């Protein structure tokens, strides 16, 4: 048997789960609230509460004794309650679930600690004053209990607000689980604490005065006025605090929704409430994340099929296979010698060259209002007039071809390309199966442009257009082209009359060349 030394016990550090700034702020608020509560109790119980028949001893000595006991009790109870409340926020080790409970239930634990000391004060001062008069003891005990309940309600609201950052931290990424009561239960509880309890205290004082008939009317009136004013103030503060506890999460969601309406989807709201309001905050964050994901997919979709097709597709409730015949223009561009290039250069260099080539193609086509229908290896097919209508699709395709030829010669001199342009009626729509389809253009202009591209690779300038495209273009563009011979393209039955761009037409500012009338003349 091999004996191994026992492992030393692991040290588990204790830490404050709310941070020192929040802890210090809580301590200051609790000390201030309970001190004000003690002052309110002293004023109400010793100078304003009706005490019934005269006391057997000097009232001044009773008041002095109560004041001294209040001071002593405050100096002991408040520091101890604050210390115990702080200790309730200390956590050993790393337990996220326990830390979550400590933070979310923190206000309730703080109020519970205070409630214990207020209950002790209720019994202590009730018995102390009952030794002189049981009526006085009951009145003082009721006053201490009422003020203690009100103080606890205010402390809860303030503590909950101070702990919002900590609550948002522990609830991040984990939606809150519904606590009992929810918003409705919260409102009922704060109504009871802020309104029902003080009013019940006033009613009790009035009832005692009526039953025993030993309190002067002026004393009772003064007590009711003072108690009523205090009740109104406490009720107002508690109601505002409770309303803010409900309004703040709603306001945060509303502000975030305004950002979403303006197009800012990178927005989220802190989740710091454990009721339905926290669920509302978490729900908004989930919705915003879904919108961001939807926008990302839409952007990827637009890059795949083109923004016009993506916009048209997402606007339709149901995509139907098939299409419609519409006037379009087609530009086909293909690199020359890409197969040999792939054999001489590493794949990374070939891909980099293709990306530069396609970047120039996409820019030239989109500037002219066209749409890249597809990339086929080292070739690209651009369409003008579908899926969105164009007032001059043939002219736009011809202008794009001229700019493209100029850009390729200037920015990509190490490669050459053939460009073919045609125009006419074609079928534009969705082709494939309902499970997998694409928007495309099918018809004679597409085939003619592809054949012209093959022929264009062997002519100076590397660009040819069909007579049909020049004939259909607007005069400003058509006069930049000149007609040539007719040829019978591969796979076609009828000859195609060729057209080439006039020298310098790609960068000319003014229309140059023959008029459209001379172009279409026999």
Please give the chain's pLDDT, 522 residues, in tens. Answer: 344 444 444 445 666 677 777 778 888 888 888 888 888 877 776 666 555 556 667 777 878 888 888 888 888 888 888 888 878 777 766 777 787 788 888 888 888 888 899 899 889 988 988 888 887 788 788 888 888 888 888 888 888 888 888 887 877 766 666 555 567 766 777 777 667 777 776 677 667 666 666 666 666 677 677 667 767 777 777 777 778 878 888 888 888 888 888 888 888 888 877 777 777 888 888 888 888 887 776 666 555 555 655 555 555 555 566 678 889 999 999 988 766 666 677 888 888 888 899 999 999 998 998 888 888 888 999 999 988 888 999 999 999 999 999 999 888 888 889 999 999 999 888 777 777 777 788 888 999 999 999 999 888 888 999 999 999 999 999 999 999 888 888 877 788 899 998 876 544 443 333 333 333 332
d(CA 501, CA 505) in angstroms, rounded, equals 6
Q: Both ends of the chain: CA-CA distance in Å?
A: 110
The DSSP letter of residue 192 is I
- Return d(Cα 327, Cα 306) in angstroms, integer: 19
Residue 433, beta-bridge partner list: 436
Q: Is residue 282 part of a domain?
A: no
Q: Residue 136: helix, strand or coil by DSSP?
A: helix
Contacts of 175 (CB under 8 A, 6+ apart): 271, 278, 279, 282, 283, 286
**Residues 328 and 252 both lie in one domain:** no
Q: Do 255 and 346 sit in the same domain of this protein?
A: no
Rounded Cα distance, 133 and 49, in Å: 13
Whether 363 and 496 map to the same domain: the answer is: yes
Cβ-contact 405, 419 below 8 angstroms: yes
Using the 3D structure, point to which of 239, 261, 283 is the last residue of a domain: 261
User: Does residue 274 form part of some domain?
Assistant: no
Query: Which residues share a beta bridge with 325?
Result: 427
Question: For residues 41 and 480, what is the distance between their CA atoms, to the nearest angstrom?
Answer: 97
Query: How far apart are alpha carbons 30 and 36 in whole angstroms?
Result: 10
Write the CB contacts of 347 (distance below 8 Å, at least 6 apart in sequence): none
Same domain, 356 and 425: yes
In a domain, 190, yes or no: yes
Q: Is the dihedral of CA 289, 184, 197, 81 positive or negative?
A: negative
Helices within 467-506 (DSSP H only): 467-472, 475-478
Q: Where are the beta strands (DSSP E) in 40-137?
A: 90-92
Q: Is residue 222 part of a domain?
A: yes
What is the H or E stretch that residue 115 is in? helix 106-130
Specify whether 39 is located in the same domain as 172.
yes
CATH number at residue 500: 3.30.70.1230
Last residue of a domain, one of 212, 242, 261: 261
419, 489: one domain:
yes
> What per-residue confidence (pLDDT) applies to 472?
93
Q: Which of 161, 334, 143 is nearest to 247 (CA)?
A: 161
Whether residue 338 sits in one domain with residue 449 = yes
What is the value of pTM for the model shown?
Answer: 0.58
| Backbone φ and ψ of 172, nearest 5° | -65, 125
The length of the chain in residues reads 522
CA 469 to chain centre: 49
Helix axes 96-104, 106-130, angle to 10 degrees: 50
Q: Are residues 223 and 334 in the same domain?
A: no
CA 40/CA 51 separation, integer angstroms: 17
Whether 379 and 483 share a structural domain: yes
Report if residue 298 sits inside a domain.
no
Residue 266 lies inside a defined structural domain of this protein: no
Residue 308 covered by a domain: no
The CA-atom distances, in angstroms, between 144 and each of 115, 203, 206 are: 11, 16, 17
Select from 244, 261, 278 the last residue of a domain.
261
Enclosing domain of residue 507: 322-520
Are residue 366 and residue 236 in the same domain, yes or no?
Answer: no
Residue 286 domain-assigned (yes or no)? no
Cα(109)–Cα(93) distance, rounded to whole angstroms? 21
Q: Is the dihedral of CA 176, 177, 179, 183 positive or negative?
A: positive
Neighbours of 250 (CB within 10 A): 12
Structure confidence at residue 6 (pLDDT): 46
- My answer on whether 34 and 129 are in the same domain is yes
The tally of domains found in the chain comes to 2
pLDDT of residue 498: 92
Nearest to 194 by CA among 136, 160, 155, 140: 155
């Amino acid at each position: 048997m091999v004996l191994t030394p026992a492992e030393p016990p692991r040290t588990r550090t204790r830490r404050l789960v709310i941070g020192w700034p929040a802890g210090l702020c809580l301590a200051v608020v609790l000390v201030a609230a309970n001190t004000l509560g003690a002052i309110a109790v002293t004023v109400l119980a010793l100078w304003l509460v009706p005490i019934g028949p005269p006391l057997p001893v000097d009232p001044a000595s009773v008041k002095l004794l109560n004041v001294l006991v209040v001071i002593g009790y405050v100096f002991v109870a408040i520091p101890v309650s604050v210390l115990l409340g702080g200790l309730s926020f200390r956590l050993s080790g790393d337990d996220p679930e326990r830390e979550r409970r400590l933070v979310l239930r923190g206000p309730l634990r703080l109020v519970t600690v205070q409630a214990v000391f207020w209950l002790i004060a209720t019994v202590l001062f009730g018995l102390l004053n009952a030794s002189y008069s049981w009526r006085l003891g009951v009145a003082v005990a009721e006053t201490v209990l009422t003020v203690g309940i009100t103080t606890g309600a205010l402390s809860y609201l303030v503590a909950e607000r101070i702990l919002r950052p900590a609550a948002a931290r522990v609830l991040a990424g984990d939606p809150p689980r519904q606590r009992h009561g929810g918003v409705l239960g919260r409102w009922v509880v704060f109504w009871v604490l802020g309104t029902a309890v003080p009013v019940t205290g006033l009613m009790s004082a009035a009832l005692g005065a009526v039953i025993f008939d030993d309190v002067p009317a002026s004393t009772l009136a003064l007590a009711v006025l003072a108690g009523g004013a205090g009740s109104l103030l406490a009720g107002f503060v508690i109601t505002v605090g409770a309303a803010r506890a409900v309004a703040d999460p709603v306001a945060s969601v509303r502000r975030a929704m305004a950002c979403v309406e303006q197009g800012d989807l990178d927005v989220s709201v802190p989740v710091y409430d454990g009721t339905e309001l926290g669920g509302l905050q978490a729900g908004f964050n989930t919705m915003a994340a879904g919108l961001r994901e939807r926008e990302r997919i839409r952007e990827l979709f637009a890059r795949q099929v083109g923004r016009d097709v993506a916009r048209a597709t997402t606007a339709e409730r149901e995509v139907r296979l098939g299409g419609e015949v519409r006037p379009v223009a087609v530009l086909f561009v293909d690199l020359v010698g890409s197969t040999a290039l792939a054999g001489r250069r590493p794949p990374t260099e070939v891909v980099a060259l293709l990306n530069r080539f396609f970047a120039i193609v996409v820019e030239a086509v989109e500037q002219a209002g066209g749409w890249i229908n597809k990339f086929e290896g080292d070739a690209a097919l651009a369409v003008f007039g579908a899926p969105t209508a164009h007032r001059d699709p043939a002219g736009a395709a011809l202008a794009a071809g001229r700019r493209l030829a100029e850009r390729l010669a200037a920015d990509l001199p190490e490669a050459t390309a053939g460009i073919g342009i045609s125009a006419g009626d074609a079928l534009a729509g969705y082709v494939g199966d309902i499970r997998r389809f694409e928007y495309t253009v099918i018809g004679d202009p597409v085939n003619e442009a592809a054949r012209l591209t093959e022929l264009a690779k062997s002519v100076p300038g590397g660009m040819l257009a069909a007579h049909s495209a020049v004939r259909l273009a607007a005069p400003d563009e058509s006069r930049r082209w000149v007609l040539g011979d007719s040829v019978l393209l591969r796979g076609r039955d009828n000859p195609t009359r060729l057209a080439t761009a006039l020298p310098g037409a790609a960068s000319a500012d003014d229309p140059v060349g023959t008029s459209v009338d001379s172009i279409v003349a026999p």
